[in-house]
Amino acid sequence: MMESRRFISRTPLHFTILVFAAIWLIPTLGLLITSFRDPANIAGTGWWTVFPKLFSGGQYSLENYIGVLRGEGLARSLLNSLTISVPATAISTFIASFAAFGFAWMHFGGRKILFMLVVGLMVIPLQMTFIPILPIYSKLKLAGTFPGIWLAHTAYGLPLTTYLVHNFMAGIPKDLFDSASIDGASPFMTFWRIVIPISVPALASVFIFQFLWIWNDLLVALVYLSAKPNVAPLTVSIANLVTNRGQDWELLTAAAFVSMVLPLVVFFSLQRFFVRGILAGSVKG
Amino acid sequence: MAEVTLTDITKRFGDLTAVKDLTMCIEDGKFTVLVGPSGCGKTTTLRMIAGLEEVTQGEIRIGDRVVNRVPPKDRDIAMVFQNYALYPHMDVYNNLAFGLKLRKAPKSEIKDRVQEAADLLGIKDKLKSKPRELSGGQRQRVAVGRAIVRKPKVFLFDEPLSNLDAKLRVQMRTELEQLHHKLKTTTIYVTHDQVEAMTLGDRIAVMKDGVVNQYEAPQETYDHPVNQFVAGFIGSPAMNFLPARVVRTSGATKVTADGFDLTIPAARAGEFPEQVIVGIRPEDLDGPVSDEQNVLIVHVTVTEQLGHALLVHGDCGGQQIVASLDPHRSVTIDSVVHLSVNLETLHLFDFESEETLM
């Protein structure tokens, strides 16, 4: 009885939320529907006209997707995006976890200053690093290579990543380390067998953060991959597509969804870690 | 099994001296309790013995070995923490086995030891559970189990029962006693609870401000406290302290104040300064009033019926006192009662130094 009354009193709230959700989703829905229609239909009628006959198959096709993946080479770009994002995220999370542990639980001279320095690097705008770094990259022949961009993304991501993981690790009860010390664990063993397993929520959320950021990045890719088509990620390819085939909405919408699928999957499947990870520093249980 | 010897141990944290010139010998196989109020240095001392804190000055020996520079894992000790410190991502079996695994003990030996400890502590059916699935008492047992499997020379307990509810605490206390009786390992136990100290300890070290005030068997500490602090810390409800004057009349020594006029038995009398503090335990006020002379005149303010005793709070010549009486005695609030004083267990403390005079 109480619950239904509460539900009813919250109706204005629910309604407002639904309205906002609709406002956000409707354009996306439009794009999704458009991506399945052929060019003639798109040019002739609005996407909302499908609604009366929503489920009749004939008006939909996968032509656009095939065209964009095969014809415009987005399949290759998808692979490139993966090749860039996964290793870069993995390396950066890996290094950050070691660094965070060192800053949180090991005692060495200059620890505080070094930590502030690393986190302080967040202040530097990306754009300012391009001009100094590119000549170095050219000399080292890293420009236009995957290792080059992995290095770049790792460096850009480390300050925030280290900070977030450190936040979590610093909250681990000291007792646990005392106990491990008495049990006979070396610092590395403590790190590997105790801290890392406990830190999984924080590491997972940091991984997601980084992954999504790198996947959606256009600028760093453009700069460090010198727009070479065979290593271009989705972001670059789609940007080019907009330039070259700007009027071909059927291709653009299909391309947009190709680039969205993976992050959506990653986000929804690991979402519980993400939320837990954000709170991980605040509530220790 | 080994004895632990502390010689002139001092621990400083910057300007703060937590432990001052502490010298004591913890005997092999005995259950020694470090007890005292918060901040007295008992946990710091324990942690220095464990190797978790560095010793500023002094020497710690386990057996014959000086262990000041020896890391915790090589001291052959095991510790049970107040918050259990169980590894949350491992099940009970792995929590118990962790230390042994790190020392590369053979799998069969690990299995045997873990089963043995689990058996002893009654957690055999919980070996596959994770800590978060266990109750507080079970977690504490796992923490104790982790110490047992290592078969160390010394057990160190840091207020292990503080996080348990009252009933569980009593139960675990008896279990720890039985465990000690079985294993006979040298044990050093830190607590702020004097009941735990009295019931568990073979010897108790009462500490205050980094100094051990008294280090003796529980009964001895209760009967003959060396100073006012120990007298007031051990025993519950706490001893009553009443300022008084010493009056010497022909052949008799008396202590007098507004609420009483007590004659000290000749056998116990000695050279006393004029100002003293009289110490009387609440339970020593329960006797039959044989002579009207040696009583406390108390104006009753509160009574508390415990079932096994009646606690009477009142005012005696301006001082607040507590008496622990037979539960069937009828005492009414605002009445004036005469409480008989047990002269054989009367304590006298020096007004200035708080040392025991008698």
- The string of pLDDT tens digits covering residues A179-214 is 999 999 999 999 999 999 999 888 988 998 899 999
Q: pLDDT of B52-98, one tens digit each?
A: 999 999 999 998 899 999 999 999 999 999 988 999 999 999 999 99
pLDDT band at A276 (very low <50, low <70, confident <90, very high): low
Under an 8 A CB cutoff, do B72 and A182 touch?
yes
Under an 8 A CB cutoff, do B73 and A178 touch?
no
Q: Are residues B195 and B319 in the same domain?
A: no
In chain B, what residues touch A188 (CB-CB under 8 Å)? none
In chain A, what residues touch B99 (CB-CB under 8 Å)? 182-184
pLDDT band at A284 (very low <50, low <70, confident <90, very high): very low
pLDDT of residue A1: 56
Under an 8 A CB cutoff, do A182 and B87 touch?
no
Rg of chain A over CA atoms, in angstroms?
Answer: 24
Chain A positions with Cβ closer than 8 Å to B: 173, 175-176, 178-185, 189, 193-194, 197-198
Q: CA nearest B82 in A: which residue? A: A175
Rounded to an integer, the average pLDDT of B168-176 is 91
Distance CA A216, CA A145 (A): 18
Across the interface, of B89, B90, B102, the residue whose CB is closest to A185 is B102
Across the interface, of A175, A189, A197, the residue whose CB is closest to B85 is A175
| Domain-ending residue, one of B233, B257, B272 | B233
Q: Are residues B216 and B266 in the same domain?
A: no
Distance CA B289, CA B306 (A): 23
Lowest mean pLDDT segment, chosen from A157-166, A231-240, B33-42: A231-240
pLDDT band at A58 (very low <50, low <70, confident <90, very high): low
Top mean pLDDT of A40-54, A263-277, B152-166 is at B152-166
Percent of chain A past pLDDT 90, that is, above it, reads 38
Q: Are residues B127 and B65 in the same domain?
A: yes
| Domain-ending residue, one of B187, B207, B233 | B233
Distance CA A149, CA A233 (A): 11
Under an 8 A CB cutoff, do A182 and B81 touch?
no
Neighbours of B242 (CB within 10 A): 22
pLDDT of residue A193: 92
Q: Are residues B157 and B83 in the same domain?
A: yes
Domain boundaries A68-280, corresponding CATH code? 1.10.3720.10
Structural domain boundaries in chain A = 2-61, 68-280
pLDDT of residue A2: 59
pLDDT band at A3 (very low <50, low <70, confident <90, very high): low
pLDDT band at A278 (very low <50, low <70, confident <90, very high): low
Q: Regarding predicted confidence, which is higher, A73 or B132?
A: B132
Q: Are residues B129 and B246 in the same domain?
A: no
Task: Given the cut 0.85, state whether the ipTM is greater than it.
Answer: no
In chain A, what residues touch B89 (CB-CB under 8 Å)? 194, 197-198
A222 pLDDT higher than 50: yes
Across the interface, of A173, A184, A197, the residue whose CB is closest to B99 is A184
Q: Are residues B197 and B311 in the same domain?
A: no
Asked if A223 and A134 touch (Cβ cutoff 8 Å), the reply is yes
User: Does the pTM exceed 0.90?
Assistant: no
What is the token pair recorded at A68?
A: 């964009």
Q: CA nearest A188 in B: which residue? A: B102
Under an 8 A CB cutoff, do B99 and A182 touch?
yes
Across the interface, of B79, B88, B103, the residue whose CB is closest to A184 is B103
In a domain, B357, yes or no: no
Q: CA nearest A173 in B: which residue? A: B85
Q: Regarding predicted confidence, which is higher, B298 or B249?
A: B298
| Domain-ending residue, one of B210, B233, B256 | B233
pLDDT averaged over every residue in chain A: 85
Q: How far is B37 from chain A (nearest CA, A)?
A: 21
Q: pLDDT of B94-123, one tens digit each?
A: 999 999 999 898 999 999 999 999 998 999
Q: CA nearest B88 in A: which residue? A: A198
pLDDT of residue A281: 44
A252 pLDDT higher than 70: yes
Q: Are residues B224 and B244 in the same domain?
A: no
pLDDT of residue B334: 92
Q: pLDDT of B133-153, one tens digit each?
A: 898 889 999 999 999 999 999
pLDDT of residue A34: 82
pLDDT averaged over every residue in chain B: 91
B164 pLDDT higher than 60: yes
Across the interface, of A179, A193, A197, the residue whose CB is closest to B81 is A179
- Cα distances (angstroms) measured from residue A210 to each of A84, A85, A237, B53, B319: 12, 8, 21, 39, 69
pLDDT of residue B43: 94
CATH number at B54 reads 3.40.50.300
Distance CA A105, CA B158 (A): 22
Across the interface, of A179, A182, A197, the residue whose CB is closest to B89 is A197
Distance CA A198, CA B304 (A): 49
Q: Domain of residue B282: give its range.
A: 240-350
Under an 8 A CB cutoff, do A184 and B102 touch?
yes
Across the interface, of A173, A189, A197, the residue whose CB is closest to B102 is A189
A282 pLDDT higher than 60: no
Q: How far is A257 from chain B (nearest CA, A)?
A: 39
In chain B, what residues touch A276 (CB-CB under 8 Å)? none
Q: Are residues B187 and B297 in the same domain?
A: no
Q: Are residues B56 and B199 in the same domain?
A: yes
Best mutation target, B47, B75, B80, B89, to test chain A (most A CBs within 10 A): B89
Asked if A37 and A59 touch (Cβ cutoff 8 Å), the reply is yes
pLDDT band at A277 (very low <50, low <70, confident <90, very high): low
Report the number of distinct structural domains present in chain B.
Answer: 2
pLDDT of residue B163: 87
Strand ranges for B288-342 from DSSP E: 295-305, 310-316, 319-325, 336-340
